[in-house]
Amino acid sequence: MLEAINLDCVRGERRLFHNLSFQLKAGECLLVRGENGSGKTSLLRMLVGLTPAAAGAVHWQGSPIKQLGDEYRRELLYCGHPLGLKDALSATENLISSVALADESVTQDGVHEALRQAGLQGREHLSVRALSQGQKRRVNLARLLLQRCALWVLDEPLTALDTQASLWVVRVIDQHLSNGGIAVLTTHQDLTLAGTTHVIRVGV
């Protein structure tokens, strides 16, 4: 279970949100809505432990994430808006590196299958700098098929994706939720998921 308790976000002299609370159980998803600059990414960074809240706390399975440390990070897959890919490496090399940093192992065949499902068959060995922005995002999102994490936190996962790729992402999230996972994501696009979905709006 993921729980946010009375979170406050302040940037400079501006309060972006105040007393924000929610609770997510297995199989549930939270969509975070709001205009640009409203604090959506800041909220996601709080949930993954990268940005401290001005007030409040985030709990995982009943314990503060500050206390859980690596135990929490092993349960978490975060795809931020910056893709974090290395342009000089191929799609395959980037994914193997990402999975290794998460202390998991994967075969090259497994990576190639994930890239195939992401619509990148035939581009496995191209350097990332040769890929379009949408293809780069699909490389990053292929991590969803390779890392076994209970909690997914996704910042604008549909940005730069065409309709087919967007539908693929929705199917992958639906499968994660049906397997008892939890997801939190921001999006400006209409998104319909099969699992239980909650919506909050920040910055209002």
pLDDT in tens, 96-145: 999 988 888 899 999 999 999 999 999 999 999 999 999 999 999 999 99
Region at 91 (left for phi over 0; alpha for psi -120 to 50; beta for the rest): alpha
- 81 domain-assigned: no
Same domain, 140 and 173: no
| pLDDT given for residue 190 in this prediction | 79
Predicted local confidence at residue 115, as pLDDT:
97
Domain holding 115, by residue range, is: 87-148
| pLDDT tops 80 at residue 204 | no
Of residues 193, 199, 140, 185, the one with CA closest to residue 48: 185
C-beta of residue 117 within 8 angstroms of C-beta of residue 142: yes
What's the number of domains the chain is made of?
A: 2
Domain-embedded: residue 125: yes
Cα–Cα–Cα angle for 154, 156, 158, nearest 5°? Answer: 105
Q: Are residues 8 and 108 in the same domain?
A: no
Q: Is residue 80 part of a domain?
A: no
pLDDT band at 93 (very low <50, low <70, confident <90, very high): very high
The pTM score is: 0.94
Helices (H), the chain: 40-47, 65-68, 70-73, 91-101, 108-117, 133-141, 163-178
Same domain (yes/no): 55, 107: no
